[in-house]
Amino acid sequence: MNSNRSVDFFDRQFERQIQQAEAALNPFEQAALPHLRGRVLDFGCGMGNLALAAARAGCTVLALDASEVAIAHLQAAANAEGLAVQAQVADLAHDRVNGEFDSIVSIGLLMFLDCASAHRALDDLQAHLVPGGTLVVNVLVEGTTFMDMFDPVQHCLFPRDFLQTRLAGWEVLASSHEDFAAPGNTVKSFATIVARKP
């Protein structure tokens, strides 16, 4: 992905996390982990904490992110533990997914793409999940007022019911909407869904 405000924001955040040795799963990753099995795609893996945890649990993981900082850190950590993780830098707005996966997770990524690219990426993720496979998606939705991390052009705040509507006909294993206080008296409003493909 070409450099943009979001990638730059997260590169700086990831560098701080590496220096501070932050490796704990965030609440969304903790909720996703029990649903991951087999061949896993972590689309927008960030630091790779979830990818590493999934590999430790016996999964084979392909982890993609636009941050070279995060991918280098993840691959080094996976190699040090001998884990089945392949970490790659990818232009997540434009690159197509290759292969079939038993589980696909995209936590906190799609809203950093322009809406057309985000919708195309989600189509691609759904298409590359095997029947009976599990999709975990977490996005910021309308109602979010914390905008500091977004590129002015490349971002997409989804309608609150977007994931439920998009995955109509799938078996919903879990679904939630959560609001979190953010700097400057702003709010981050998240929607998360875990669904099994028919």
Q: What's this model's pTM, rounded to 2 decimal places?
A: 0.89
Residue with the bigger pLDDT between 68 and 130: it is 130
- Expressed as residue numbers, the domain containing 10 is 5-196
Total count of domains within the chain: 1
**84 pLDDT band (50/70/90 cuts)?**
very high
Give tens-digit pLDDT for 112-129. 999 999 999 999 999 999
Output the domain CATH number for residue 24.
Answer: 3.40.50.150
Q: Distances from the Cα of 51 to the Cαs of 91, 123, 158, in angstroms?
A: 18, 22, 25
Q: Is the pLDDT of residue 2 over 80?
A: no
Q: What is the mean pLDDT of residues 163-174?
A: 97
Q: Are 85 and 78 in contact (CB under 8 A)?
A: yes
